[in-house]
Structure 1
Amino acid sequence: MKVDRITLLGSPHKNSCNPLVSVVIPAYNEEQYLSGTLQSVINQDFQNFELIVVNNNSTDKTAEIAENFGANIIFEPRQGVGFARQRGFMEAKGSIIATTDADTILPSNWLSRIVDKFEKDENLVAFGGLYTLYSGPLSARLTFSYFAHPAWALDKFFSGGWGLPGVNFAVRKDAFLKVGGFKTELSIGEDAEISRRLRKTGKVLLDPSFLVKTSGRRYRSGLIVGFMTYLPNGITRILFNKHKFLKLPAIRSERPLLPRLLARFIFVLIIITFSFFYFSHYCPLRAGLKRPNFIINKIKAKQTRMKSS
């Protein structure tokens, strides 16, 4: 039996035929979290938007929950967040597309801040922020609360620009279409990859104070295990500009799961060892490096003393 939408939500959102913003949420078996996410979308102080939930082969009540919230439900049979986001973005009617994950709680001014940023800067093609965890191990929650900004700044330094997280991401649709959309074959890092291409078309901005809250299920087996899950992708992306090395299973629960930590740890060690060996012996930059003059002078002086003696 369907729940009356007006009773459930208090007031319906403006799911008009010509919205300014399209909110796209990919969802695969998200019945545990989706209601909270959709309620936070409905509670936005900016209401000129359409709500799109991309049902990515869910076998639970995901579609039913989305329907009860008045969302436009789009079915995407090809499994993966890249396929799901791409399908939702292509179906979006708004000139601005905002996306988050199905286990995320948005602040009530999320959309209004996004719209304000784009209206004030016509050169801005993509905008986003960071996220904290509302559940999961304490170590993970504290780390994301205090060290997320420095970590993202470090990533910006090595990557040459901001990479926006898909959990808190907005883009002009014309810019999205211009770069060809997401790389749908990626099971992880599709947000960072498209951010790199968007930087070539205009300004990509990340505001560290622009926060959403997401679940800590990705770190349910501990902070270190969680980092080891995603670290290989980050290393290969920064060092080799590659985004497809490992495929990750869908994480739909916060129950601890015995990870394949050893294999990932060995993989990281191999990458670090190879990188050290490469930059120490074969890095092209070494060919253009010259010893500082004071070192050369010391060597010459030593050789002169040896000859005179």
Structure 2
Amino acid sequence: MKIPDWIKDVNLPYNTYNDIPQSAIDEVNSRLDAVLSNTPVITVLIAAYNEEANVLRCIGSLSRSKTRIPFEILVVNNNSSDRTQDTLDRLHVRKVFQSIQGCGPARQMGQENAKGEYILLADADCLYPDCWIDEMMKVLREPGVVCVYGRYSFLPEPGYPRWQLFILERLKDVIASYRQIKRPYLNTYGISMGYIKEFGLKAGYVMANIRGEDGRLAFDMMKYGKIKPVTSNAARPWTGPRTLALEGSFTKALSNRIVKEVKRSFQMLRSEKDHDTKTSKNEG
């Protein structure tokens, strides 16, 4: 899959807050004023920790959304130590501050302050296509569905050429299809996830700085309805491979995933037993 043309319009070339010119802020705000609603059906919820430049790119991409469904953008500054708050203060979006570190606490505060009936989770370092909201909502509004998740793609960087990242994406898609059989909550990542707020509030996020807060919430929402995938390639968000870089080379990242999934392949064919997701050590 090639990098779509819309990326060049939203992948703004700023690395720090001081790099951002007022003209860039004004352009994004002009689009936000045209698309955001004071009476939203959807809240696009973004948790941001030290994303002073990335959050502008993310919000800038969302400002190009093409949808007739009223939506708002709510950003939770998760106790950032950089100038994320300064960037947010210049943008025409709603924002709140969460001093408890972690995506769980940030997203919990976000859903408690959301005006929308539905919540779509977005990551502050990702870029979103203009059809993302509508494609997510098509599935989320199906009868009996309480939660949806989408696929995502990686932008190339030195050491991570696009062809290698494409291979990894296809592997992830296959693994997600396998997990969907019995453990769909393992596919619910905050980069592209949506749910009905009523059930998100009933389930609640884990209030600690641990991984898997999105999957834990989804697992607890399964008692209220189904989790379904959004398979549209056009709706894929795009992000940099910085999480992969933590593992070292592409080969290392790929082999780690293959080994992990092979080891638990039979386990994935059994439903997870009910457990306390707020204290468990696993991903759900």
Indicate the SS of the match to 2:109: helix
Residue in structure 2 matched with residue 3 of structure 1 by the alignment:
22
Could you tell me how far 1:158 is from its partner in structure 2? 5.5
Q: Of 196, 201, 224, which aligns to 2:224?
A: 201
1:218/1:226 contact within 8 Å kept? no
**What are the superposed Cα offsets for residues 219-276 of structure 1, whole Å, 9 maximum, x if unpaired?**
12223554659x87996x96987875499xxxxxxxxxxxxxxxxxxxxxxxxxxxxx
Residue in structure 2 matched with residue 66 of structure 1 by the alignment:
88
Could you tell me how far 1:69 is from its partner in structure 2? 2.4
Closer, same or farther: CA 113–143 of 1 in aligned 2, 3 Å = same
Matched, 1:57 2:79: yes
Q: Of 190, 193, 208, which aligns to 1:169?
A: 193
Q: Of 106, 110, 116, which aligns to 1:94?
A: 116
Closer, same or farther: CA 31–90 of 1 in aligned 2, 3 Å = same
Closer, same or farther: CA 186–199 of 1 in aligned 2, 3 Å = farther
1:22/1:50 contact within 8 Å kept? yes
2:44/2:119 contact within 8 Å kept? yes
Return the alpha-carbon distance in structure 1 between the equivalents of residues 101 and 195 of structure 2: 23
Greater RCO structure (CA 8 Å; 6+ sep): 2
Closer, same or farther: CA 219–32 of 1 in aligned 2, 3 Å = farther
Could you tell me how far 1:127 is from its partner in structure 2? 1.5
Could you tell me how far 1:143 is from its partner in structure 2? 3.0
Residue in structure 2 matched with residue 156 of structure 1 by the alignment:
180
Residue in structure 2 matched with residue 211 of structure 1 by the alignment:
236
1:82/1:190 contact within 8 Å kept? yes
Residue in structure 1 matched with residue 250 of structure 2 by the alignment:
223
Residue in structure 2 matched with residue 254 of structure 1 by the alignment:
none
Q: Quick one: which amino acid aligns to residue 27 of structure 1?
A: A
Could you tell me how far 1:99 is from its partner in structure 2? 0.8
Closer, same or farther: CA 22–161 of 1 in aligned 2, 3 Å = closer
TM (normalized to structure 1)?
Answer: 0.68
Return the alpha-carbon distance in structure 2 between the equivalents of residues 208 and 164 of structure 1: 13
> Superposition pairs for residues 132-281 of structure 1, below 5 Å?
132-136=153-157, 137-138=160-161, 141-157=165-181, 159=183, 163-179=187-203, 181-185=204-208, 187-209=210-232, 210-220=235-245, 221-223=248-250, 225-226=252-253, 228=256, 245=281
1:162/1:206 contact within 8 Å kept? no
> Superposition pairs for residues 72-87 of structure 1, below 5 Å?
72-87=94-109
5+ residue gaps, structure 2: 1-17
Indicate the SS of the match to 2:191: helix
Could you tell me how far 1:97 is from its partner in structure 2? 0.6
State the superposition RMSD in angstroms: 3.2
Closer, same or farther: CA 149–7 of 1 in aligned 2, 3 Å = closer
- Write 1 or 2 for the structure with the bigger share of helix: 1
Could you tell me how far 1:27 is from its partner in structure 2? 0.5
Indicate the SS of the match to 1:144: helix
5+ residue gaps, structure 1: 248-309
Q: Of 21, 31, 45, which aligns to 2:42?
A: 21
1:133/1:144 contact within 8 Å kept? no
Q: Which has the larger radius of gyration?
A: 1
2:29/2:92 contact within 8 Å kept? no
Indicate the SS of the match to 2:67: coil
2:146/2:226 contact within 8 Å kept? yes
Tell me the percent identity: 22
Could you tell me how far 1:67 is from its partner in structure 2? 2.5
Return the alpha-carbon distance in structure 1 between the equivalents of residues 140 and 42 of structure 2: 11
**What are the superposed Cα offsets for residues 112-159 of structure 1, whole Å, 9 maximum, x if unpaired?**
22333344x232211221111113423751233322210112223452
Return the alpha-carbon distance in structure 1 between the equivalents of residues 143 and 181 of structure 2: 25
* Residues paired across the two proteins, number: 244
Q: Quick one: which amino acid aligns to residue 249 of structure 2?
A: G
**What are the superposed Cα offsets for residues 154-188 of structure 1, whole Å, 9 maximum, x if unpaired?**
22345266632211001111121232x21222521
TM (normalized to structure 2)?
Answer: 0.74
